[in-house]
Amino acid sequence: MLTTSAGGCATNEFTRPGHDGHDQGPVWLAPPQLPPWPVVWFSVDDGGEDGAGCHAIRRWEFAVDDGRSGPGPGTLVVDPGDRGGRSAWERFVAQASEIMERVPHARWVHYASREPRRLRECVAAYGAPAGFLERLEEALFELLPRGVLRCVRLPLRSHSLEEVAAVAGFHGQGRDLDPGAVVASGAERLLAMRAIWRWMLEQGPKDHCG
C-alpha cells in the first residue's frame, strides 16, 4: 500500500515474512523516516538523585556527526568529576548552546525518554539561559519510537539500546570509528545509536526521506 509520510514522502508499507510463514529476523514495516545529516548524538549517563533533586549525571555525552567522517575530537563531553552537579550542567549548557549556533538545523538524536526528563530536571534545579530548554527540546529526535519502532519489527523481547544495536551489528568497543575520534569509555551509547541509524538506512527500504 502506498502512503504519504508526515514529511510528504511516498512510502511503501510492507513486511518480509520468512518462507515458512513466520518472521525471520527484522521485518521492515516502512522506510526509515530519519532527519538529514548533520545530527548530534546525545546521551545522559545518570545515577541516583543529587542534593538538588536532580538525578546525578555521571556523563553528558554528545557529538556532532556529518554522516561522513563520524563524530570528531572535542565534541564528546565525559565529565564524571562532580557527578553531574551544577558545574557539569553549566559546561553542558555552554557547549550545547555553541553547537546549536554552529549547526542550528541539526537534530539531537537520543534513544529513549531519559534525556528530555533529565534536561527538564536540571533546568528546574540549576537554571538555564532563556529559551535554551525550548530550543533544545525542539531539536530532539527520539530514535527508538520515532525511528526504530515505526519502521521495523525486531525479534527481541527487549528493545534496549544494547540489544537493538547488536541486531545492527554493533557490539561495543568503538570499532567503527578511529580510536582517536572519541573517548571510548563514554562513547558506547553514541556509537550504538550511530550503528542503528546507519543500519536502518542501509538495510531498510530505500525510498526513505532521510
Question: How is the chain split into domains, by residue range?
Answer: 32-203
162: enclosing H helix or E strand: helix 161-167
| Average pLDDT rounded to a whole number, residues 77-97 | 76
Question: Closest by alpha carbon to 129, among 159, 166, 101, 171?
Answer: 101
Identify the weakest region by mean pLDDT among 1-5, 92-96, 186-190: 1-5
CATH node for 32-203: 3.30.420.10
pLDDT class for 95, splitting at 50, 70, 90? very high
3-state secondary structure 93-129: HHHHHHHHHHCCCCEEEECCCHHHHHHHHHHHHHCCC
Is pLDDT at 210 greater than 70 in this prediction?
Answer: no
Instruction: Tell me the backbone φ, ψ of residue 11, rounded to 5 degrees.
Output: -135, 155
Instruction: Work out the mean pLDDT of the chain and round it to a whole number.
Output: 79
Q: Grid cell 530514535 — which residue?
A: 143
Identify the weakest region by mean pLDDT among 34-48, 67-81, 115-129, 147-161: 67-81
Instruction: Tell me the backbone φ, ψ of residue 135, rounded to 5 degrees.
Output: -70, -40
Query: Cell triple for residue 210?
Result: 532521510
pTM of the model: 0.79
pLDDT class for 48, splitting at 50, 70, 90? low
- Highest mean pLDDT, choosing among 59-63, 79-83, 145-149, 170-174: 145-149
Is pLDDT at 6 greater than 60 in this prediction?
Answer: no
Is pLDDT at 37 greater than 50 in this prediction?
Answer: yes
> Residue 49: CB partners within 8 Å, gap ≥ 6?
55, 56
Q: What is the pLDDT of residue 49?
A: 58
